[in-house]
Amino acid sequence: MFDDLDVVITEVALRDGSHAVRHSFTEEQVRNVVGALDAAKVPYIEVSHGDGLGGSTLQYGMSKVDEFKLIQAAVETASYSKIAVLLLPGIGTVHELKRARELGASLVRVATHVTEADVSRQHIEEARKMGLTTFGFLMMAHMAPLDKLIEQAKLMESYGAEAVYMTDSAGTMLPDQVFERIAALKSELSIEVGFHAHNNLGLAMGNTLAAIKAGATRIDGSIRALGAGAGNTQTEVLVAALDKMGIKTGIDLYKIMDAAEDVVAPLLLTPQEITKDSLTMGYAGVYSSFRLHAQRAGEKYGIDPRDILIELGREKVVGGQEDMIIDVAKRMKQERG
């Protein structure tokens, strides 16, 4: 359906942006956002808890509205756009994936830590059997050397992934690093390569353009930069930049601008900007969804959240280990007397 596009964009505000609004999206909000994105001809719109299917838990944050109701609202609203979901093995299961498929989801990205692609096999294989477009999603990509990244991407390809994304979950990578890694993946894989950026160092746009220059054809954007940490590559800005470069996305520039300004901006609890905490995450190489968790732990134990984030980076804590944030803050409090 999108074969004539140079770059296929997946809009992640209704998934990654769930972190930024404390998983409080309502069905009405999803319908409004999807309606505006659909009118702008956005190819894919990802809808689920910030931590993927099954993520609504005390550990990751409870959703205000059951995510399957949100997925159903999105599917019912979209006429052009396809609805995508994210699944992290160990959080979501094949059962949740099957339910999302029954509701009309068309695409799943199966996400693992960059060194743990082997846990994605069952979910990728089952997703293909369900007829879902199925991609792999290697998170915290900066934490693995290039040869390991390639090895793990090839595993996902061997399981049936139709594309593999390199994910800068911490917003810590630099453009030359992104270019080198995407170019290597492009040369080593026979499937499409994608890229997902975070803006904690203010480099999401630069990194995304570097990825596209290196051969990435599947790109994530977040309208109004609504995403974890300092947000993701801002969709409407990316569309404008790519249009100036003569790269076809199929997205209507004026309509995506209007959607950002009139529909999404009012949903933001705070402006998506590079705060001291999100900057610290990019500097320390910490998972972007840790910001609110670190702020709450800091308030509870009287510790600067930046100190907590730096320590989490030092200990190489990754997504799925949110329970350790409290443990680290508590230990730091005890050590400081």
Judge whether 123 lies within some domain: yes
Instruction: Examine the domain organization and report whether 117 and 205 are in the same domain.
Output: yes
Alpha helices in the chain (DSSP H): 17-20, 27-39, 67-77, 94-103, 121-129, 146-159, 175-188, 204-214, 235-244, 253-258, 276-284, 290-301, 305-314, 323-335
User: How much of the chain, in percent, has pLDDT values that exceed 70?
Assistant: 100
Residue 77 has φ and ψ, to the nearest 5°, of -85, -35
Instruction: Examine the domain organization and report whether 194 and 315 are in the same domain.
Output: no
Residue 304 pLDDT:
93
Annotated binding-site ranges for Mn(2+): 16, 196, 198
Render pLDDT for 219-277 as a digit per residue (tens, 0 to 9). Answer: 999 999 999 999 999 999 999 999 999 999 999 999 999 999 999 999 998 888 999 98
d(CA 209, CA 147): 23
Render pLDDT for 148-159 as a digit per residue (tens, 0 to 9). Answer: 999 999 999 999
Across 108-137, average pLDDT: 98
What's 328's domain CATH number? 1.10.8.60
Annotated binding-site ranges: 15-16, 169, 196, 198, 287
Count up the domains in the chain and report the number: 2
Residue 290 pLDDT:
86
Render pLDDT for 22-61 as a digit per residue (tens, 0 to 9). Answer: 999 999 999 999 999 999 999 999 999 999 999 988 777 8
Q: Which residues, including other chains, have CB under 8 Å from residue 302's CB and lie 6 or more apart?
A: 333
Instruction: Examine the domain organization and report whether 23 and 65 are in the same domain.
Output: yes
Instruction: Examine the domain organization and report whether 313 and 248 are in the same domain.
Output: no
Instruction: Examine the domain organization and report whether 102 and 226 are in the same domain.
Output: yes
Judge whether 215 lies within some domain: yes
What counts of helices (H) and strands (E) characterise the chain? 14, 8
Q: Which domain holds residue 295?
A: 289-335
Angle, CA 160 vertex, CA 154 and CA 161 arms, to 5°: 70
Render pLDDT for 171-225 as a digit per residue (tens, 0 to 9). Answer: 999 999 999 999 999 999 999 999 999 999 999 999 999 999 999 999 999 999 9
Judge whether 1 lies within some domain: no
Instruction: Examine the domain organization and report whether 255 and 293 are in the same domain.
Output: no
Catalytic residue among 19, 49, 123, 142: 19
Instruction: Examine the domain organization and report whether 258 and 299 are in the same domain.
Output: no
Angle, CA 161 vertex, CA 94 and CA 318 arms, to 5°: 70
Render pLDDT for 306-331 as a digit per residue (tens, 0 to 9). Answer: 999 999 888 888 777 788 899 989 99
* pLDDT higher than threshold 80 for residue 98: yes
What's 118's domain CATH number? 3.20.20.70
Across 112-137, average pLDDT: 98
Instruction: Examine the domain organization and report whether 39 and 131 are in the same domain.
Output: yes
Instruction: Examine the domain organization and report whether 26 and 106 are in the same domain.
Output: yes
Residue 117 pLDDT:
98
Instruction: Examine the domain organization and report whether 130 and 195 are in the same domain.
Output: yes
Instruction: Examine the domain organization and report whether 123 and 232 are in the same domain.
Output: yes
* pLDDT higher than threshold 90 for residue 1: no
Q: What six digits make up the tokens of 294?
A: 């670190």
Q: Please report which confidence band the pLDDT of residue 293 belongs to, taking 50, 70 and 90 as the band edges.
A: confident
Judge whether 151 lies within some domain: yes
Render pLDDT for 58-91 as a digit per residue (tens, 0 to 9). Answer: 777 889 999 999 999 999 999 999 999 999 999 9
Judge whether 279 lies within some domain: no
**pTM for this predicted structure:** 0.93
Judge whether 278 lies within some domain: no
Residue 82 pLDDT:
98
Annotated binding-site ranges for substrate: 15-16, 169, 196, 287
Judge whether 2 lies within some domain: no
Instruction: Examine the domain organization and report whether 214 and 99 are in the same domain.
Output: yes
Residue 79 has φ and ψ, to the nearest 5°, of -120, -30
Judge whether 172 lies within some domain: yes
d(CA 225, CA 217): 20
Asked if residue 307 lies in contact with residue 281, where contact means CB atoms within 8 angstroms, the answer is no
d(CA 239, CA 245): 10
Across 296-300, average pLDDT: 90
Residue 317 pLDDT:
84
Indicate the average pLDDT of the chain: 95
Q: Is 19 a catalytic residue?
A: yes
